[in-house]
Amino acid sequence: MESFRTEIENPVVAKDIIDLEQKIFAFKNNNIDEEKFRSLRLARGVYGQRQQGVQMVRIKIPYGKFTSRQLLKISDVADRYSNGNLHITTRQDIQIHHVDLEKTPQLWAELEKDDITLREACGNTVRNVTASPFSGIDPDEPFDVSPYAQAFFSYFLRNPICQDMGRKIKIAFSSSKEDHAYTFVHDIGFIPKIKDEQHGFMVVVGGGIGSQPRLADCLYDFLPADRIIPVSEAILRLFDRFGERNRRNKARLKFLIKELGFDAFVEKVQQMEREISTFSYPIDYIEHKIASTIHYPITSNTPKESFERWKNANVFPQKQKGLVAVGLCIQTGDLPTQTARKLAGVIDTFCGEDARFTVNQGILLRSIQFENLEALYEALFNINLDRIGFDRINDIVACPGTDTCNLGIASSMGLAKELQQVLEHEFQQLIDNHKISIKISGCMNACGQHTIADIGFQGLTLKSNGKIAPATQILLGGGAVGNADGHFADKVLKVPSKRTPDVLRWLLIDFENHHHRAGESFMAYYQRAGSDYFYQNLKHFSEVDNLQPEDFIDWGNEQLYEKAIGVGECAGVTIDLVQTLLFDAEEFLENAESALADEQVSNAVYFGYSALIRGAKAILTTVQARINSHHSIIVSFGEHFPNCETDLGFSFRSAVKAIENNDKTNVFAKDYIAKAKAILNWIKNEADAR
């Protein structure tokens, strides 16, 4: 294990990887309990999967941007440590599966050599920052949001304020008001604007999908670009302190906004801003320069009809004259490493250094000379990446479902592959002429984004004659409207899963026969007809009295369906919760002292704050106290342990709330950490006496 420790030049990254290795060793030796270890590894991109004994590793690709070199590195790692498949996610990440837990430090070290990280790809952190794949080339964009998305990613990576929040935070940057990045369903979303020749953003907050979808609220119609990071930090600090921590299903930012009320939420954000010493955080705007390419002649004749269909559906003009972008349809987001390596060669030849994974599980090749299109098409044809229909109806989005996910109820990928066959054999004219989205999730959590699809499918179960069969919830009419607005799809009815293809056939035939004009969208057609129209015409598909044996077998499977949610990860010995939390607090205190030594004053104070909160939570677990948020912990500690102030001469509340002082100096930080250390020692003595 020694080699990878010395090869990582960045000492912060090297420490991270060594820390993961040490935590794995401690977990294997029952020195860290399962819940604590889960939190630690999730923040490092390591996620338990449905199959016991192996892990899913999520690789963080900020706003989906990658180079051919990075694609080759990820492919090498997937072949060495995984099963030779790259899965593109709806957050522009890459997931690899069936990884041995003990090999994850080496895997991470290999990736970091090419500036690829696992850090905070999972867990209760700021997840991967997503952005429209057209950023920088969109003819309708006010400016390229890529530099701002990169700065946001860099600022909050390893930032102490978002290492252990109540739940995850999702961020999106759209390139224009068309909102290709779906900002309206994100915790924080940004849409670029220019005002008085100044870059800025419309900022929306509190959106989400899942079982309780919510449209984001507009926080700022225009916020100057140098303010987006301080305002976002204020939002994250507020969420960290007041967000729910016990009830997981109520722990997202959207629920905090609902609990406080939007006006009160805005007021608290402004209060948090005063706590932050930096009012402005300028971001260097460097527009991506596009290197010129040479003309590549066609070496053989390509099928003219197929090329023209492909050009119509997969090619997009850029704002740069003479250049186009090309979308690649990746079935269920799965890209074999053999194909990925060949694609890296195509990227080198035709595209330069900027390709993007998309939020719809595809790939966008950018800045291609228009005269090279036929040569590119031939190159893609030769590696089976010439499928027609980028972001069209046959380019179906699907989460992993029961293939690998612990929470999966149904086979999303199996259903997606079946529906794609139906579409490409029976509905070519729809692929060519309409943009209709189909999205599939294997459970209510909406990782496949089914709630914002024209046609959404969610995995469920149903009972028939005492037996359980896989089922599909049909949802219709969702999608982006633009300018951070959208519609959530309506739940229309539930059908046995094996009838889903026939439901889709009816929907598409009816659309072809009854949409009013060539340009009418599926959303407009659905809204005009109304939900009841579809329910009445589809309800015969929902009958369960006459199910056949094949109805009890899910797509892509041969055995009878068996509902199995949350298959456990490897178990550890349960450790005393008080001691675990105290161990956690001591670790944060060490981080505070280390940050102070590096003159990272703001980070040092926040680490000290985190140590205080965790120490207080530890002792409060021994009494009947509310500990569902940082705010309730602060209040409860004063109520249950007033003698702390008597013994130390200052109160816990005054010590912890001093973080609200925005004039943070080295002297202030030293005093804050000293008081945190004194309180933590008092708590440890109190715990030992109990």
**Average pLDDT of 98-102?**
92
User: pLDDT tier at 205 (50, 70, 90 boundaries)?
Assistant: very high
Give the whole-angstrom CA distance, residue 490 versus residue 477.
Answer: 6
Q: Token pair of 383, please?
A: 């590696």
Q: Which of 209, 35, 63 is nearest to 577 (CA)?
A: 35
The region of weakest confidence among 127-131, 195-199, 443-447 is 443-447
Placement of tokens 């129209």 in the chain:
533
pLDDT in tens, 58-88: 999 999 999 999 999 999 999 999 999 999 9
pLDDT in tens, 269-284: 999 998 887 889 999 9
Neighbour count for residue 68 (Cβ, 10 Å): 20
Domain ranges of the chain: 2-112, 130-275, 304-382, 399-552, 577-689
Give the whole-angstrom CA distance, residue 501 versus residue 511.
Answer: 15
pLDDT of residue 2: 45
Neighbour count for residue 209 (Cβ, 10 Å): 26
Q: Which of 597, 619, 595 is nearest to 609 (CA)?
A: 595
Phi, psi of 99 (to 5 degrees): -100, 135
Give the whole-angstrom CA distance, residue 149 versus residue 130.
Answer: 8
Give the whole-angstrom CA distance, residue 435 versus residue 431.
Answer: 7
**Average pLDDT of 479-486?**
96
pLDDT in tens, 544-600: 988 999 999 899 888 887 766 543 332 223 345 687 788 889 989 999 999 999 899
What single string gives the DSSP state of each residue in 207-240? -B-TTS-BPPEEEEEEEEGGGHHHHHHHHHHHHH
**Average pLDDT of 481-489?**
96
Q: Token pair of 384, please?
A: 């089976």
Specify the DSSP class assigned to residue 267: H
As a whole number of angstroms, the longest Cα–Cα distance in the chain is: 87
For the chain, helix, strand, coil in percent to 5 are 45, 15, 35
- Give percent of the chain above pLDDT 90: 72
| CA distances for 309 relative to 252, 306, 480, angstroms | 43, 5, 26
SS3 205: strand
Give the whole-angstrom CA distance, residue 646 versus residue 462.
Answer: 61
> Residue 6 pLDDT > 50, yes or no?
no
Give the whole-angstrom CA distance, residue 643 versus residue 428.
Answer: 75
Cβ proximity of 584 and 614 under 8 Å: yes
Q: Token pair of 125, please?
A: 């952190």
Cβ proximity of 204 and 184 under 8 Å: yes
Cβ proximity of 226 and 281 under 8 Å: yes
What single string gives the DSSP state of each residue in 281-292? ------PPPPPP
What is the spatial order of strands in the sheet that 467-476 belongs to? 397-398, 438-441, 455-464, 467-476, 490-496
H or E segment and range at residue 172: strand 171-173
Q: Does domain 577-689 have CATH number 3.10.110.10?
A: no
Phi, psi of 187 (to 5 degrees): -60, -45
Phi, psi of 396 (to 5 degrees): -80, 135
pLDDT in tens, 412-453: 999 999 999 999 999 999 999 999 999 999 988 889 999 999
SS3 146: helix
Topology at the third CATH level for domain 399-552: Sulfite Reductase Hemoprotein; domain 1 (3.30.413)
Q: Which of 361, 413, 353, 417 is nearest to 390 (CA)?
A: 361
Q: Residue 348 carries which side chain, given as an amino acid letter?
A: D
Domain 130-275: homologous superfamily in CATH? Sulfite Reductase Hemoprotein, domain 1 (3.30.413.10)
Q: Token pair of 156, please?
A: 């909050």
pLDDT in tens, 634-688: 999 999 999 999 999 999 999 999 998 877 889 999 999 999 999 999 999 988 8
Give the whole-angstrom CA distance, residue 73 versus residue 62.
Answer: 16
pTM higher than 0.95: no
Summary mean pLDDT of the chain: 90
pLDDT of residue 245: 86
Burial of 491 (0-12, 13-18, 19+ CB in 10 A): middle
pLDDT of residue 570: 27
**Average pLDDT of 519-534?**
95
| CA distances for 113 relative to 11, 72, 356, 652, angstroms | 13, 12, 20, 44
pLDDT of residue 3: 46
> Residue 360 pLDDT > 50, yes or no?
yes
SS3 50: coil
**Average pLDDT of 320-328?**
95
pLDDT of residue 7: 67
**Average pLDDT of 478-493?**
96
pLDDT of residue 565: 54
Give the whole-angstrom CA distance, residue 492 versus residue 451.
Answer: 12
Topology at the third CATH level for domain 2-112: Sulfite Reductase Hemoprotein; domain 2 (3.90.480)
Specify the DSSP class assigned to residue 124: S
Q: Can you name the residues that pair with 491 across neighbouring β-strands?
A: 475
**Average pLDDT of 200-221?**
95
Establish whether domains 130-275 and 399-552 are of one fold.
Answer: yes
Mention every residue, 6+ apart, whose C-beta is less than 8 A from residue 283.
Answer: 147, 148, 151, 225, 226, 228, 229
pLDDT of residue 473: 95
**Average pLDDT of 611-628?**
91
pLDDT of residue 292: 61
H or E segment and range at residue 38: helix 34-42
- CATH numeric code, 304-382: 3.30.70.3340
Mention every residue, 6+ apart, whose C-beta is less than 8 A from residue 587.
Answer: none
| CA distances for 212 relative to 183, 185, 249, 446, 477, angstroms | 17, 11, 9, 10, 16
* 477 or 464: which leads in pLDDT: 477
